[in-house]
């Protein structure tokens, strides 16, 4: 998909004015965050598992070339093929070539963020093929021609009525006056429509939650079983995955699985956890005749060895998104590309360039909640600050913002002058706003006061109060 991250502020205004989206977002804190906390409470060793999972990924990233080559060797031994793709275009052409060789007309697809990243559906449609999303959320947004708004819940921004509207518009072979008020009815209808697509598909495309170097296996977790049907019914299976998804052993994969579902949906395990190795063997009753793994780089090797390498530990659980106050206010589409929330604000600039995504690193309160809940202990706030520093050093962003930062830095390096300036500023604003207790407008603060009042300072500065309590010298 084409990025609109450069228009982030306009995207935000659209999101804030969308009443249906705001209604959906109000329910957000009552779902995944609560379930995650309850799952953690039931597993006392959860934090120890987080440390173990982090160490596994750190070790793998330090020896990524070794484990990727070992994975490739094992896939070939099992009868499959591995395709190395440096960028999105090469991945799209590789998938198209496989589909053409198979004489494919219909391609079923399991939920894959890498598929979204390389815009594989658009590429297949341009080539005359018919891609069909089989994950329910992905199927709904495909009907509405929308991108996903969340990693694990792509249609979370929609209401039940909006889903019913999409079904009535697209499922024209069904009676127009059929009842679609209940979620179970919507689910049954989607299942009946997709069943025919599963059986008609020539090629199935899935993502991969992990790739196991020890066995050449791919690990896929779903809650609907659509992934299993996508990879076992068609004649040809294509797995599209980014290079950092590899882990050394099956035991390592099971360790990460223990934190994945709990962090994502609060489940002990996802309903379906499938390990697949190569194509169908002669003694197998079912499975694909051909098995391809498309390994995508798309800028990730540039992150290796950089201050953003830790981002490659991400297992796409969505925990950081689920706990982000900014995402909770604007949803996922405002970020303008495949990924959203804190992980998106770090990953998108690294993949498509900080110049075209200048607002994303600033779309954070730096409250630190994202790092607190990340099962892989990724220091997202630190990386957001580093991206901001990159922007400043390269003169990216509004000049008023850069001059403001320079002025603040000048004062911050001179503690005595900083304290004096704060006292004067707080004292002046406090006296000026004493009668109302707030400001409806204020020079240089229009970004704040356009949508809400600014509280007038009351009393002393923080440092004065801290000193009065014996905390530090003033």
pLDDT tens column, 48-92: 999 999 999 999 999 999 999 999 999 999 999 999 999 999 999
Among 198, 224, 222, 208, smallest CA distance to 276 is for 208
Q: Where are the alpha helices (DSSP H) in 284-436?
A: 300-303, 319-322, 325-330, 341-352, 369-373, 380-393, 399-412, 415-432
Residues of 210-241 as b/e, b for ≥16 C-beta within 10 angstroms? bbbbbbbbbbbbbbbebbbbbbbbbbbbbbbb
pLDDT for res 472: 56
Pick the residue with more confidence: 125 or 451? Answer: 125
pLDDT average, residue stretch 115-137: 96
Measuring CA to CA, how many Å separate 62 from each of 65, 309, 353, 383?
9, 10, 24, 19
pLDDT digits (tens, 9 = 90+) for 18-51: 999 999 999 888 899 999 999 999 999 999 999 9
Q: What is the DSSP letter of 346?
A: H
Among 20, 45, 56, smallest CA distance to 160 is for 20
pLDDT average, residue stretch 422-433: 90
User: What is the DSSP pairing of strand 210-212 with strand 217-222?
Assistant: antiparallel
Q: Is residue 241 scored above 60 in pLDDT?
A: yes
- Tokens 């804030």 sit on residue: 16
The verdict on pTM exceeding 0.75 is yes
Which pair of tokens denotes residue 444?
Answer: 């240089």
pLDDT for res 78: 97
Q: Is residue 424 scored above 50 in pLDDT?
A: yes
Q: Is residue 382 scored above 80 in pLDDT?
A: yes
* pLDDT band (50, 70, 90) for residue 459: confident
Q: What is the DSSP letter of 405?
A: H
Q: Is residue 474 scored above 80 in pLDDT?
A: no
Q: Sign of the CA dihedral 362, 368, 370, 371?
A: positive
DSSP H or E stretch at residue 236: strand 236-242
Among 32, 127, 92, smallest CA distance to 341 is for 32
Between 6-10, 329-333, 401-405, the lowest mean confidence (pLDDT) is in 401-405
pLDDT for res 473: 56
* Residue 204 · residue 109 · CB < 8 Å: yes
Q: How far is CA 380 from the centre of its chain?
A: 13
């Amino acid at each position: 998909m084409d990025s609109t991250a450069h228009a982030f502020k306009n995207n935000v205004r659209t999101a804030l004015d969308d009443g249906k989206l705001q209604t959906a977002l109000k329910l957000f804190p009552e779902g995944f965050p609560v379930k995650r906390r309850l799952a953690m409470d039931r597993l006392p060793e959860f934090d120890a598992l987080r440390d173990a999972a982090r160490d596994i990924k750190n070790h793998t990233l330090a020896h990524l070339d070794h484990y990727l080559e070992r994975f490739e060797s094992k896939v070939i031994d099992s009868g499959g093929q591995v395709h190395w793709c440096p960028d999105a275009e090469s991945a799209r052409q590789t998938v198209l070539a496989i589909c053409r060789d198979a004489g494919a007309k219909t391609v079923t697809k399991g939920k894959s963020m890498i598929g979204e990243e390389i815009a594989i559906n658009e590429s297949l449609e341009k080539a005359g093929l018919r891609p069909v999303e089989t994950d329910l959320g992905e199927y709904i947004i495909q009907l509405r021609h929308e991108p996903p708004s969340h990693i694990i819940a792509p249609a979370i921004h929609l209401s039940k009525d909006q889903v019913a509207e999409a079904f009535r518009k697209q499922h024209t072979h069904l009676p127009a006056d059929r009842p679609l008020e209940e979620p179970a009815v919507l689910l049954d209808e989607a299942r009946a429509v997709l069943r025919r697509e599963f059986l008609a598909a020539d090629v199935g495309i899935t993502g991969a939650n992990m790739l196991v170097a020890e066995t050449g296996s791919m690990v896929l977790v779903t809650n609907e079983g659509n992934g299993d049907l996508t990879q076992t019914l068609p004649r040809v299976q294509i797995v599209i995955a980014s290079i950092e998804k590899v882990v050394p052993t099956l035991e390592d994969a099971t360790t990460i699985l223990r934190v994945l579902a709990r962090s994502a949906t609060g489940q002990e395990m996802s309903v379906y956890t499938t390990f697949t190795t190569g194509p169908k063997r002669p003694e197998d009753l079912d499975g694909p005749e051909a098995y391809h793994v498309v390994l995508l780089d798309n800028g990730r090797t540039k992150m290796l060895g950089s201050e953003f390498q830790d981002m490659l530990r991400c297992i796409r659980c969505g925990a950081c998104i689920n706990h982000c106050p900014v995402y909770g206010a604007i949803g996922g589409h405002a970020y303008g590309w495949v990924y959203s929330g804190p992980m998106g604000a770090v990953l998108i600039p690294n993949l498509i360039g900080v110049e075209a995504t200048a607002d994303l690193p600033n779309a954070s309160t730096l409250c630190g909640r994202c790092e607190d809940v990340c099962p892989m202990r990724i220091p997202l706030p630190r990386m957001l600050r580093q991206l901001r520093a990159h922007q400043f050093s390269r003169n990216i962003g509004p000049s008023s913002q850069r001059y403001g930062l320079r002025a603040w830095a000048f004062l911050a390096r001179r503690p005595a002058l900083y304290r004096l300036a704060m006292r004067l500023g707080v004292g002046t604003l406090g006296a000026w706003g004493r009668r109302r207790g707030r400001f409806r407008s204020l020079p240089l603060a229009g970004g704040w006061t356009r949508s809400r009042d600014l509280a007038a300072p009351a009393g002393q500065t923080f440092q004065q109060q801290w000193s009065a309590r014996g905390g530090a010298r003033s």
